Amino acid sequence: NFEETADAIEYRQAAFGLIAYNFGDMGAMLKGKKPFDAAVFSARADNVAALSKIPHEGFIAGSDKGDTEALAKIWQDKADFDSKMTAFQDNAAALAVAAKTTDENNIKQAFTNTGKSCKGCHDVYKKD
Ligand code: ASC
């Protein structure tokens, strides 16, 4: 367990930073900003799927106070927040599965679904 809310905030932010790096690189490949490398793409999708399980534990009570963009609304609508986090994890797991195939449409759809999970939660629960 975390000693202080600052530790919980740091923990979840570290995971989100790694998720953003891995997901961003996948997006660069899908958007043609760099060559598509199936092995790298799949490894990054595996990373995102594993990392997606990390942040939730860091959203402890009171950790809307501090160096964070997390809104207090998270703890007011905790059940909805939790279900959005689970949906993100499910989408990320599906993306990791899709990334092991050569079905480009399926990969792109799974990537889009995962990105929507990110944005859907940020729109409601993250400061602008
Ligand atoms: C990213 C990133 C996000 C999401 C979101 C998807 O690469 O840093 O927060 O994708 O923009 O819509």
Average pLDDT over every residue of 63-77: 97
Q: What is the CATH number of the domain that holds 86?
A: 1.20.120.10
Write the CA distances from 88 to 4, 36, 82, 97, 114, integer angstroms.
Answer: 26, 24, 10, 14, 6
**Domains contained in the chain, number:** 1
Token pair of 7, please? 């530790």
| Interface predicted TM-score of the whole assembly (ipTM), two decimals | 0.92
Task: Give the residues surrounding ligand 1 with Cβ less than 6 Å away.
Answer: 20, 23-24, 27, 115, 118-119, 122
Rounded CA gap, 75 and 88, in Å?
A: 18
* Residue 86 structural domain: 5-125
- Looking from the CA of residue 23, the nearest atom of ligand 1 is 7
**pLDDT above 90: residue 88:** yes
The helix/strand/coil state of 126 is strand
Taking only the tens place, the pLDDT of each residue in 71-80 is 999 999 999 9
Strands (E) in 26-81, as ranges, are: none
